[in-house]
């Protein structure tokens, strides 16, 4: 009976298997990205970039229809432009990076909505905003798997400098003097994973699978490597559980996945062993930190 509930959707329906594989690839790529966004106090930057890719994705959608290469390329270019422009403003003026990201992502989001509204329909806009993971095809799977592979390779190359920059950016600048290079490389990885996620979950929800598992893992793990592994596991669990819930109760799959990830975050916030609410309220032993 339990097997029927949790396994039947994937044994009997190919589109469910494709969606599950897509969730696994998204978890592998987005999990470590979300952890570093949390550690670098850039959680809202991820949300800003997820909105920033919208005009490029919308332009690709209107030019070539449901062409994954066109939408992905447009989204990547738009997100990268916002990242570059925000970095330029931050370095040439006194404005903080979060403020410049907010300004450019708001303009990008408005431009994306305007593009679709002028030349598309409400159905087109809903597709770009919310995606549909149950419609993932072979090309989409190849794209998501390829981006996850590229992200893993890039992380392996810049992992140590990123960790150092998270905790002591001054030391990294004194030793290497290339902190901005690693920062921009990290933003490129963020944009790549958001491009992979928007086709399945849409631009408004792609960041959810990236940030919620990473934020939840902070309540259970302490080391950077364990945070990354736990974030990947929680992201995949959210994808699997969200697909099952959406299938059994005829609900939209993308919101179900993100809301399940949100439920994991709330559970972790309350019961987490590393700074959870209950642990913080319980009396500690004498002289225990």
Burial of 177 per CB tally in 10 Å (0-12, 13-18, 19+): exposed
| Contact (Cβ atoms closer than 8 angstroms) between residue 182 and residue 162 | yes
pLDDT of residue 240: 95
Q: H helices within 93-134, ranges in order?
A: 97-119, 122-130
How far is it, in rounded angstroms, from Cα 81 to Cα 226?
A: 32
Burial of 288 per CB tally in 10 Å (0-12, 13-18, 19+): exposed
The C-alpha R_g of the chain, in whole angstroms, comes to 20
| Contact (Cβ atoms closer than 8 angstroms) between residue 96 and residue 90 | yes
How far is it, in rounded angstroms, from Cα 69 to Cα 76?
A: 10
pLDDT of residue 207: 86
Give which of 56, 112, 106 is closest to 79, Cα–Cα: 56
Provide the CATH number for the domain formed by 2-281 in this structure. 1.10.3470.10
- Domain boundaries of the chain, sorted by first residue: 2-281
How far is it, in rounded angstroms, from Cα 4 to Cα 18?
A: 19
pLDDT of residue 266: 96
> Can you read off the two tokens belonging to residue 234?
């929680």
- The per-residue pLDDT string of the chain (289 residues; one tens digit each, 9 = 90 and over) reads 566 677 888 888 888 999 999 999 999 999 999 999 998 888 888 888 888 888 888 788 778 776 778 888 888 999 899 888 887 888 788 778 778 888 888 888 888 778 777 765 555 556 666 667 887 888 888 888 898 899 989 988 888 888 887 777 666 666 665 667 888 888 899 999 988 887 777 766 788 889 999 999 999 998 999 999 999 999 999 999 999 999 999 988 888 999 999 999 999 999 998 888 887 777 666 555 5
The answer to whether the Cα torsion of 155, 177, 50, 32 is positive or negative is positive
pLDDT of residue 114: 82
pLDDT of residue 136: 83
């Amino acid at each position: 009976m339990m097997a029927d509930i949790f396994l039947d959707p994937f044994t009997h329906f190919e589109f469910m298997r494709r969606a599950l594989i897509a969730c696994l690839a998204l978890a592998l790529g987005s999990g470590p990205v979300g952890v570093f966004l949390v550690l670098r106090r850039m959680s809202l930057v991820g949300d800003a970039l997820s909105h920033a890719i919208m005009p490029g994705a919308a332009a690709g959608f209107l030019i070539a229809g449901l062409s994954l290469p066109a939408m992905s390329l447009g989204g990547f270019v738009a997100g990268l432009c916002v990242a570059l422009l925000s970095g330029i403003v931050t370095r040439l003026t006194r404005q903080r990076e979060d403020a410049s990201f907010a300004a450019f992502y708001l303009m990008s989001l408005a431009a994306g909505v305007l593009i679709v509204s002028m030349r598309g329909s409400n159905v087109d806009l809903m597709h770009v905003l919310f995606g549909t993971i149950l419609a993932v095809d072979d090309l989409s799977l190849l794209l998501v798997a390829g981006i996850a592979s590229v992200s893993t390779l890039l992380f392996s190359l810049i992992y140590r400098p990123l960790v150092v920059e998270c905790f002591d950016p001054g030391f990294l600048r004194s030793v290497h003097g290339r902190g901005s290079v690693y920062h921009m490389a990290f933003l490129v990885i963020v944009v790549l994973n958001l491009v992979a996620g928007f086709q399945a979950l849409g631009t408004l929800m792609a960041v959810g699978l990236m940030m919620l598992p990473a934020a939840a893992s902070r309540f259970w793990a302490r080391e950077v490597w364990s945070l990354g592994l736990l974030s990947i596991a929680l992201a995949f669990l959210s994808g699997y559980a969200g697909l099952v819930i959406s299938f059994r109760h005829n609900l939209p799959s993308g919101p179900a996945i993100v809301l399940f990830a949100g439920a994991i975050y709330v559970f972790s916030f309350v019961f987490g062993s590393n700074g959870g609410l209950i642990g913080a309220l319980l009396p500690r032993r004498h002289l225990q930190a």
